[in-house]
A = this chain, B = another copy of it.
Amino acid sequence: MNNLIKGILEGRKREISKAISLVENNSSRAYDILREIHRYTGRSHVVGITGPPGSGKSTLINSLVKEFRGKGRKIGIIAIDPSSEFTGGAFLGDRVRMQSLTLDKEVFIRSMATRGFEGGVARAAIYAAKVLEASGKDLIIIETVGVGQNEIDVVDAVHTVVVLVTPETGDEIQVLKAGYMEIGDIYVVNKADLPGSDDMASEIKELTKCVEDGWRPPVIKTVALNGTGIGELADSIEKHFIFLKGTDKLKEIELRKIRREILEAAVEKVKERFSPVIELGEGKNLVEKVFSREISPYVAAEILLKKIFKD
């Protein structure tokens, strides 16, 4: 076992950080790492926290992490929200209330730009979570914003989705109806000291009434800044994981992730094998035939795939 893998398994921040960088850049070493660490993964609780910009996700995560640290949990945070306070320039910037997290040996924080990763930021975040799983984190939080394709891809790969809203904007419920309502396992009305929070919570409760898979999403009111409701939220998050474990659902999620990972590994293998084959011999001839319009690229691909994977 090489030092990088060893460092990850021992939970050392430097090695975790390096491995995540390799994974982000989709380097050839990334797959060596992911292959090596696979056997040490599958035991963490992966939680997605999502909500519109300004709903206070970073502050909520900060409070939540303190709560879970109080219970002795080891925690990883991946922020792929461009408006996240975790993603602002110099790591946490100078926000004092978050500084304590970075000093904690058992908390690992990583922010990711939302563009520029080959294969997309969702893929990068999911594999970064896998590195954090191998590093022994009990709880991994992925912070996302909105309901774009990236977010849907992330939601598909986490165990528990926490949707955050605030009573500040009047059309929040419309926003919820437009996409968030199908994805939440837990709803949080943050900034619940503001007027309108009770109405908002009631409305969301109404909307989640029809859910019939054995888990009715709770609606929790929080004031992240002073810690109100954070204990209840932490309990709900843990309860949801216990619920998943007690049914087939946890395994379902894991199998879905695995199918996707096998497919991505297959695509990676195809890319790896194609580059050398397509430049020489039969590959080169096929490219010429496509150039002369004798065959289409699709026929050429089929012939090359058979050639590459026949034995």
| A258-B291, A266-B274 as given contacts; A39 in contact with B296, CB under 8 Å | yes
Q: In this assembly, does A263 line the interface, its C-beta being within 8 Å of a C-beta of chain B? A: yes
* Among all A-B residue pairs, the 7 with the closest Cβ atoms: A265-B301, A309-B309, A266-B301, A38-B296, A261-B297, A39-B293, A262-B297
Shortest C-beta distance, A123 to chain B (Å), equals: 13
A31 proximity list for chain B (CB < 8 A): 298
A70 proximity list for chain B (CB < 8 A): none
Q: In this assembly, does A246 line the interface, its C-beta being within 8 Å of a C-beta of chain B? A: no
Task: Tell me the nearest residue of chain B to A308, going by C-beta.
Answer: B309
| A262-B300, A300-B262 as given contacts; A38 in contact with B267, CB under 8 Å | no
Q: In whole angstroms, how far apart are the Cα atoms of A149 and B296 in the complex?
A: 27
CB of B255 within 8 A of CB of A263, answer no
Q: In whole angstroms, how far apart are the Cα atoms of A298 and B270 in the complex?
A: 12
CB of A291 within 8 A of CB of B254, answer yes
Shortest C-beta distance, A229 to chain B (Å), equals: 35
CB of A293 within 8 A of CB of B148, answer no
Identify which of residues 258-291 in chain A touch chain B, using a CB-to-CB cut-off of 8 Å: 258-259, 261-271, 274, 278, 286-287, 290-291
CB of B148 within 8 A of CB of A301, answer no
Interface of A is mostly: helix
A259 proximity list for chain B (CB < 8 A): 278, 287
Name the interface size band of chain A.
Answer: 35 or more
Q: In whole angstroms, how far apart are the Cα atoms of A291 and B262 in the complex?
A: 11
A262 proximity list for chain B (CB < 8 A): 274, 278, 286-287, 290, 297, 300-301, 304
A274 proximity list for chain B (CB < 8 A): 262-263, 266
14 pairs, CB–CB < 8 Å, chain A vs chain B:
A34-B296, A35-B299, A38-B293, A41-B293, A118-B149, A255-B287, A258-B291, A262-B287, A262-B301, A266-B270, A267-B267, A306-B309, A306-B310, A310-B311
Q: Which of B118, B149, B263 contacts A116 (CB 8 A)?
A: B149
Q: In this assembly, does A42 line the interface, its C-beta being within 8 Å of a C-beta of chain B? A: yes
Shortest C-beta distance, A148 to chain B (Å), equals: 7
Q: In this assembly, does A115 line the interface, its C-beta being within 8 Å of a C-beta of chain B? A: yes
| A116-B149, A251-B291 as given contacts; A300 in contact with B39, CB under 8 Å | no
CB of A265 within 8 A of CB of B298, answer yes
CB of B148 within 8 A of CB of A269, answer no
Task: Tell me the nearest residue of chain B to A118, going by C-beta.
Answer: B149
Q: In this assembly, does A199 line the interface, its C-beta being within 8 Å of a C-beta of chain B? A: no
Task: Tell me the nearest residue of chain B to A261, going by C-beta.
Answer: B297
CB of A290 within 8 A of CB of B35, answer no
Q: In whole angstroms, how far apart are the Cα atoms of A35 and B306 in the complex?
A: 19
Q: In whole angstroms, how far apart are the Cα atoms of A271 and B270 in the complex?
A: 11
